[in-house]
Chain A
Amino acid sequence: MSDGESHPILRRAEATPGLLPALRQLLRERREATVAAMLVLVFVLLSFGSPFFLTERNLFNVARQLSVVAIVALGQALVIIAGGIDLSVGSVIGLSAVAAAMAANATNSPAVGIVAALAVGGLTGVVNGTLITRARINPFITTLGTLSVVRGAALLVTNGSPQRFDNWAAFLGGGRIANVPVQFILLVLLAALIWIFAVRTRWGRDVYAVGDNARAARLAGLDVKFTRTMVFTISGLLAGLGGLLLAGMLSNANPNLGLGYELDVIAAVILGGVALTGGRGSIGGVVIGAALMGLLRNAFVLLNVSGYWQTITIGLVVIVAVGADSFNRKAEED
């Protein structure tokens, strides 16, 4: 009669408290665990493999190089957890970089440049979200469209030529505080902020519910359209910041800045254990995923291996990490 009797699995679980839940917990977070292990492994191997690796200079360089991808990946993670995808981030980096430079140069006020970069990013996000929720165009198609439109706009306004960006706002991208790159400090702060947002606020939890089952979320009274628009806006804002940081780092805003970045960003998110089907993933995992990609890049430079191998390896790592996860999940469900 009672449910406990008719479900032996449940009973077994109750009989051995702690063990099975712990095992399941591990299985569920296996992809992050796998990637974290890979990160440690690459770190240790590099420590032995190259005398330059463990120098402060090199480590901070790695930190600086991975920061923009990781910052943009934070927003992308929210989009993917909500069941969407944002292909436009690379183009937003380009347009916001030139917008920052042109606005700062025209007004002689770097602050206006910062606002312009964030406004371009946020606005693109709002447009993406609106097209997806109101016009009901699928996120892939919508952001594929804005990817092209936004890149075209960047080329159009600059007539294809790079813009000077060497005011104090460039400090955000190129500066250091006590030798630590400002970009990296921003990444740490933003990761903490987004993490708290995701686990400790209603809006963050709604992102997970919408991504896991949008219909159920709507029937439970959630504003699904708002949640979706919100995550695309956050993604756009962070991509706008990414453009600002890259321009600052290079003292120069090229309209082709961020070309192809969307793939690195999405790879970092997936590597970090976020499910493309939505509803699952953690912000910590995304940072680990981005860190692993940064470390691999560094490894190829230090070990003097052709950059082409780098591209191949990163692709393989994504496939292996995601493959291992779906293999585990299948084993769990059987």
Chain B
Amino acid sequence: MSQAPSGAPSYGAPVLSVHDVRKGFDGAPVLHGIDLDVPAGQILALVGENGAGKSTLLNIVSGALQADGGVIALDGIVRHWAGPRDALQAGIALVHQELSIIRSLSVAENVLLGDYCAGPRGFVDRPAMRARARALLDEVGAHHVRPETRADRLSTADQQLVEIAKALTRDLRVLIMDEPTSSLTPHEAEALFVVMRRLAARGVCVLFISHRFDEVFRVADRIVVLRDGRLVGDRPAAGTTRDAAIADMTGRAFSFSRRVARPARREESVLSVRNLCDRHWLGPVDFDLRAGEILGVFGLVGAGRSELLELLGGLRQPGGGAVRLFDGGGLPATPAHAWARGVAILPEDRKAAGIAPNLSVHENMLLSWRRTAPGWINPARERGVVAPLMRRLAVRARGPAQLVRTLSGGNQQKAILGRCLAAAPRLLLLDEPTRGVDIGTKAEIYDHIAALANEGMAVIFASSELPEVLALATTVMVLARGQQRLCAPNEGLDEASVLSAAFSFEANGA
């Protein structure tokens, strides 16, 4: 079952102990019994692919999620957190990827949130607050941040330091950071590492998630690898190579290894892209797509996957390059133009940009189809469009009148896929088509995409899940920090080579 961690090293007495922690969402297990001991003063990097369970584990440790089983102990005493507050009281603080700073308050108010040095009559003692905030900010090396400044005037890096200073108001034992450097410049990241080392020297355990191997090796003492909810690698950072860590990450037994039938390639060109850039940092990107092909765009967080799809769907302004669509025209200027010309869009964030939650399945599926239908609604004709699509996609709903928000995530996604198909597009843009979808429905969605390609549709899908890309794509593109690192036929690619390309910005000293 659980693979033995390769040469698990032994360290001193643990401050934080995680034993047999298990967790599932909607019946799908995400963590299968994690054991981990962290001694005082250790900096531990948690790495793994998307969906490996890293964030889930750290959320459980910090009280944001409840484990289904297993125990967490602090200083050898088993603890239960009812919520993040409890964990914080005990000295475990989590700094989120999206910072939870209150933008309209001052730095001092943020640092001392809920503890405003109030005097006996309940009045806030501002000088005392400023002094205390100053001391805490100094501890995290934020000497340049003034306590009086409004928080929203700070850079992301400084906001992060404020959050760490906030954690120090309690007796901090464990500091947890979820991708702390994802929005920092290399220089700011370096400053953060100094703070991490300083806290570790004081005996604080520092746990962080990272996708950037360069920083993992630079700052961490220990590298722990999760894969499919299991702890599969535990190595001291010194003496470990990047390739060894990548091998830990990818050494999976495929659950869906390239089982999808290869669609027959056709000759009609659907899309040809040359030197396409956006106005910021994406590109240049080059590729050709024919009818029946599936282009899988892979990359890490912030690689530019969504941005590329947004460019092609008319949601983002291009900064340069040449694009020829099947109708001879260039990029669509707006999503409305895209749909009108036969380009369908399935957005990444289903809740915010996909569904109309209080409308029915029927309405959601016909949203785009109605653009080309007469303005006067013919209910019989509409039912004739929806019913076959619900059957084909096996949308599990009581009927077309059910409100979309009451469906499961997978069925919501099918309804939006149905919206795309109703419009009979020639090019289908899918951004993370299986995000938040249970594994059974995932497989169904893969089958539908493959079938559509077989019928002659061209598909571009963006995904942060490598196995999915390799299982489904005929052509694989890898983006890293907006740069196209690879665009090659799927045949002959393996996980290691694709991951290597995705991480390749490090080699260029970026």
Contact of A221 among B26, B336, B358, B438 (CB under 8 A): B336
Q: State in angstroms the CA–CA spacing of A203 and B359 once bound together.
A: 15
A222, B357: Cβ atoms closer than 8 Å: no
* Contact status of A219 and B335, CB under 8 A, knowing A2-B440, A203-B375, A280-B358: yes
Q: Tell which of B135-143, B232-240, B348-356 binds the partner.
A: B348-356
B336, A6: Cβ atoms closer than 8 Å: no
**Cβ-closest chain A residue relative to B423:** A221
Cβ of A315 < 8 Å from any Cβ of B? Answer: no
Q: Tell which of A89-97, A118-126, A170-178, A210-218 binds the partner.
A: A210-218
A9 to chain B, nearest CB (A): 8
Cβ of A17 < 8 Å from any Cβ of B? Answer: yes
**Cβ-closest chain A residue relative to B367:** A220
Q: Which residues of A contact B336 (CB under 8 A)?
A: 218, 221-223
Q: Which residues of B contact A280 (CB under 8 A)?
A: 358
A325 to chain B, nearest CB (A): 13
Cβ of A160 < 8 Å from any Cβ of B? Answer: no
A-B contact pairs, 24 of them (CB 8 A): A3-B440, A4-B396, A10-B398, A21-B399, A199-B377, A208-B356, A212-B356, A212-B357, A212-B358, A216-B347, A216-B353, A217-B356, A219-B347, A220-B335, A220-B368, A221-B335, A221-B338, A221-B340, A221-B371, A221-B423, A222-B336, A223-B336, A279-B358, A279-B359
Q: State in angstroms the CA–CA spacing of A220 and B401 once bound together.
A: 19
**Cβ-closest chain B residue relative to A220:** B367
Cβ of B273 < 8 Å from any Cβ of A? Answer: no
B355, A213: Cβ atoms closer than 8 Å: yes
A161 to chain B, nearest CB (A): 45
* Contact status of A213 and B357, CB under 8 A, knowing A1-B440, A3-B408, A203-B375: yes
A216, B354: Cβ atoms closer than 8 Å: yes
**Cβ-closest chain A residue relative to B346:** A219
**Cβ-closest chain A residue relative to B27:** A6
Q: State in angstroms the CA–CA spacing of A200 and B401 once bound together.
A: 15
**Cβ-closest chain A residue relative to B359:** A212
A202, B373: Cβ atoms closer than 8 Å: yes
Q: State in angstroms the CA–CA spacing of A39 and B359 once bound together.
A: 28
- Interface residues in A194-232 (C-beta closer than 8 Å to B): 199-203, 205-206, 208-209, 212-213, 215-223
A201, B376: Cβ atoms closer than 8 Å: yes
Q: State in angstroms the CA–CA spacing of A219 and B313 once bound together.
A: 9
Cβ of A250 < 8 Å from any Cβ of B? Answer: no
A205, B377: Cβ atoms closer than 8 Å: yes
A208, B338: Cβ atoms closer than 8 Å: no
Cβ of A56 < 8 Å from any Cβ of B? Answer: no
Q: Which residues of A contact B397 (CB under 8 A)?
A: 10
**Cβ-closest chain A residue relative to B399:** A21
B408, A7: Cβ atoms closer than 8 Å: yes
Q: Which residues of A contact B401 (CB under 8 A)?
A: 21
- Additional A-B contact list (19), CB under 8 Å, known A201-B375, A218-B335: A7-B26, A10-B398, A13-B398, A14-B398, A21-B402, A199-B377, A202-B373, A202-B374, A205-B370, A208-B359, A212-B359, A213-B352, A219-B315, A220-B335, A220-B367, A221-B339, A221-B371, A223-B336, A279-B359
Cβ of B227 < 8 Å from any Cβ of A? Answer: no
- Interface residues in A256-285 (C-beta closer than 8 Å to B): 275, 279-280
- 5 closest residue pairs by CB, A with B: A221-B339, A212-B356, A220-B367, A1-B440, A213-B356
Contact of B355 among A13, A14, A205, A216 (CB under 8 A): A216
Q: Which residues of B contact A279 (CB under 8 A)?
A: 356-359
Cβ of B400 < 8 Å from any Cβ of A? Answer: no
Cβ of B363 < 8 Å from any Cβ of A? Answer: yes
**Cβ-closest chain A residue relative to B339:** A221
Q: State in angstroms the CA–CA spacing of A219 and B349 once bound together.
A: 11
Q: State in angstroms the CA–CA spacing of A279 and B354 once bound together.
A: 15
Cβ of B91 < 8 Å from any Cβ of A? Answer: no
**Cβ-closest chain A residue relative to B352:** A215
Cβ of B210 < 8 Å from any Cβ of A? Answer: no
B347, A208: Cβ atoms closer than 8 Å: no
B399 to chain A, nearest CB (A): 8
**Cβ-closest chain B residue relative to A21:** B398
Cβ of B485 < 8 Å from any Cβ of A? Answer: no
* Contact status of A6 and B26, CB under 8 A, knowing A212-B359, A215-B353, A280-B358: yes
Q: State in angstroms the CA–CA spacing of A70 and B410 once bound together.
A: 42
**Cβ-closest chain B residue relative to A221:** B339
A4 to chain B, nearest CB (A): 6
Contact of A209 among B27, B313, B339, B356 (CB under 8 A): B356
Q: Which residues of B contact A205 (CB under 8 A)?
A: 363, 370, 377
**Cβ-closest chain B residue relative to A7:** B408
Cβ of B463 < 8 Å from any Cβ of A? Answer: no
Cβ of B175 < 8 Å from any Cβ of A? Answer: no
Q: Which residues of A contact B396 (CB under 8 A)?
A: 3-4, 7, 10
Q: State in angstroms the CA–CA spacing of A121 and B359 once bound together.
A: 31
- Interface residues in B292-326 (C-beta closer than 8 Å to A): 313, 315
Cβ of B411 < 8 Å from any Cβ of A? Answer: yes
Interface string of A151-165 (1 = CB under 8 A from B): 000000000000000
**Cβ-closest chain B residue relative to A278:** B358
Q: Which residues of B contact A213 (CB under 8 A)?
A: 352-353, 355-357
Contact of B398 among A17, A200, A201, A203 (CB under 8 A): A17
B338 to chain A, nearest CB (A): 7
Q: State in angstroms the CA–CA spacing of A102 and B110 once bound together.
A: 60
Q: State in angstroms the CA–CA spacing of A220 and B396 once bound together.
A: 22
Cβ of B441 < 8 Å from any Cβ of A? Answer: yes
B371, A3: Cβ atoms closer than 8 Å: no
B356, A3: Cβ atoms closer than 8 Å: no
A202, B375: Cβ atoms closer than 8 Å: yes
Interface string of B433-465 (1 = CB under 8 A from A): 000001111000000000000000000000000
**Cβ-closest chain B residue relative to A200:** B377
Q: Which residues of A contact B419 (CB under 8 A)?
A: 220
A209, B367: Cβ atoms closer than 8 Å: yes
**Cβ-closest chain B residue relative to A218:** B335
